[in-house]
Structure 1
């Protein structure tokens, strides 16, 4: 059993609105967020409802994902995979419609991929593929002659989809509750494809281009949630494949650049303070198929390095290289690759943490093929490691000696951390490129009364006699990273022996310059060269 199964739901990832509060940027939001409730879980200090990310008293790892912005809570569902959904639709006597979602930042080549997929089906005499493009003004139906038919949306729904895709063919069509201001993109996709499928019975499947700054996981959760609630079984859309298109030339430069969506005019709403790197990495982490497009603009060695990096970030996706979006249709349509449970386990950082605890922190034994892959990664200066410690960070030193320093080569770090001044709260740590985000995640299991402990902590994870499951556990992935330097940096932030002797009461008096978890979320810019 995976140690961190379901952990993404507790992290609330992917983070849609990490409100900024940094030494280099004063942008932040004080808008209150509701405290979600669920069976057998209660909100910690529920009177503090102004949290951006509610602090939950939940097990480690929890089977619950707090709401973030418009992200919906994922309930237990009978069908979470394409195969299971197909079987259920057959039992209901319904018409099942496989849906492929295509994500990717603006300019990566999503539209080209859609057109190529449609052209390929035309060439094979197959008119059973429908192509849709979601955008700020409505939904565009891409015809087999490559022309488009657009229908505008009501203003509220248009606001939900205004994430500035690639600037062409972007439109959507509304349907009933689709005009609700709480409507998510995944719910819209479900309802719209259901309507198109009912109206155009010749369409066997649909491929849908998503807005440029959207990420796949929340759409998948919303889509599955809508599927669970739907009572119309005449035409049943099911998620079949999640595809992310990556620009071979610009992916890495954009990860390292300190660009905010707001500075580029690409925000989804007034609360959207994400960076471009946030979007790019989360689009990669949650995909069934990764298309490295425009490989003709880079060298073979560069394309291969990028492929290895993407494999580090997503351990299960099929990766294919392409020029002008030309990808075999069999890799995109009716693959039955989608499984929500498997998607949530796809991110490389999560695989790193699982492997670390499964092996007790020892290096894994590698088979020949794995050893060859590791050697090739080393040849391209790609590496990863897990930082683990059973001591808390001193918040002032964490700020001065880590968060204020340049982290050479780091692409992604994510996991959980223990802060001395916030002794009972498990912090969620993540970076994408140069932006660090720390948020309250849950109560440590050891902070709960013994009779209320859920047993959620894996038996493979060490339990400290005094501190229980409190620890630092952070996965790091990068190119040309200096692991020893990063470890030394983090070690310098830990409490020393004399500070440890003071205990939690003394720790609570330490200087803590980090933004309060009870007032504002915490996005800090890491210096970049």
Structure 2
């Protein structure tokens, strides 16, 4: 039904708007501003993309869907669908699509000088950060104006804290994509400049404010979307990456209200995790309906900044490089809606090295196999 309504609306607008295919762009020396749209819901993606184009009728929309053997590329504007093609790639993955089709297509649209801006609707579940960074590095024809994430407040708690996989919903980007919906959506929300929610829900709104960046905006409803404003911004991929860097992790927009539906714990210490206790108790600190992110260090690899990234019942840890002149520390920011706070606080404290263990110095840990090589790399490399 939504498609029929959209087609009717476009048909009506065609009667009153000038032909968008007439040259509308500024001189070719100015790059084409691009708004990137990401979401974990295909209906929200398509309706938001349409709303942006309706508000900025001189814009073009480029939309992608990942298939098992090809990607589907759709180009449309206020006049309707201009291209709808399947593109076969050597490998079906987001990086290959970016390199082989997304950026070349955006450059082709910019060269036509028919549109003043472009909306790039990513495949459902795709994370915007690598896309924004790739486009920013693609040359002077293109400019990232803004990054938008669209979420449903009514289902946000299950989407952001539940354990559904993208594959469970048919949204995996490639064979073997075993990411949770929560992981994809959390990364989308935390990176976005603007989060758009089509509905109103107090509990979902509270959870969103605990997750989104302090620098982001929250727009409620699709009817008030300001496409002109979105295209007029200047997204800074480096600044957005820095605010999500584990070195800079901090609680998001709001503090936990006593008795409120959503809470955020800010657990931090100058001490490292004890490797054996972390390995034995990692589920105590990572399981449940929570979003957890941050950094930690181990006495067996004191120079390595270790990344902690948990959502949807899954936990990813990895080597984040060195501390680059900063003092090592352990800090986890954990958000949830259940009764896990006491368990998480106790687990965090139990896993840290005790003051007595710290007083013995770190030299005694040198050469000890901590068991984390599969996730953090060899200790000699990390040190």
**How big is the alpha-carbon RMSD for the aligned residues of Structure 1 and Structure 2?**
3.5
Distance (whole Å) between structure 2 residues aligned to residue 379 and residue 331 of structure 1: 40
Give secondary structure in 2 for the equivalent of 1:196: helix
Summarize the alignment of residues 120-519 of structure 1 with structure 2, pairs less than 5 Å apart: 120-121=55-56, 126=57, 128-136=58-66, 137-147=71-81, 149-156=83-90, 159-161=92-94, 183=96, 185=98, 188-199=101-112, 201-227=113-139, 236-270=141-175, 272-295=177-200, 300-309=201-210, 312-322=211-221, 325-330=222-227, 333-347=230-244, 353=250, 374=255, 377-378=257-258, 380-404=260-284, 407=287, 410-411=290-291, 413-444=292-323, 456-457=325-326, 469-480=327-338, 483-500=341-358, 502-504=360-362, 506-507=364-365, 512=370, 514=372, 516-517=374-375
Higher strand fraction (1 or 2): 2
Query: Would you say 1:102 and 2:1 are equivalent positions?
Result: no
Shift of the alpha carbon at 1:518? 6.0
- 1:291 Cα offset (Å): 0.5
C-alpha displacement at 1:315, in angstroms? Answer: 1.2
Aligned partners of 1:441, 1:280: CA distance in 2, in Å?
22
Cα distance in 1 between the residues matched to 2:99 and 2:148: 14
Q: Which runs of 5+ in 1 are unaligned?
A: 1-88, 162-181, 231-235, 356-369, 446-455, 458-468, 521-529
Looking at structure 1, the residues matched to 246 and 270 of structure 2 have their Cα atoms a distance apart, in angstroms, of 19
SS class of match (2:42): coil
Structure with greater helix percent: 2
Distance in 1, Cα, partners of 2:245 & 2:319: 22
CA distance in 2, matches of 1:510, 1:498: 19
Alignment of 1:17-96 (within 5 A): 94-96=29-31
Q: CA deviation at 1:142?
A: 1.9
User: Does the 8 Å contact 1:426/1:440 carry over to 2?
Assistant: yes
Instruction: Return the TM-score normalized by structure 2.
Output: 0.77
Distance in 2 of aligned mates of 1:420 and 1:112: 50
Distance 2:143 2:195 in 1: 20
Between the aligned partners of 1:189 and 1:474, the Cα distance in structure 2 is: 36
Count, aligned residues: 350
TM-score (norm 1): 0.58
CA distance change for structure 1 residues 144 and 390 in 2, over 3 Å: closer, same or farther?
Answer: closer
**1:11 alignment partner in structure 2:** none
| Cα distance change, pair 498–160 in 1 and its aligned pair in 2 (3 A) | closer
Unaligned runs of 5+ in 2: 1-24, 379-383
SS at match of 1:486: helix
Q: Distance in 2 between matches of 1:512 and 1:130?
A: 53
Higher RCO, 1 vs 2 (CA within 8 Å, ≥6 residues apart): 1
**What corresponds to 1:9 in structure 2?**
none
CA contact under 8 A between 1:258 and 1:434: conserved in structure 2?
yes
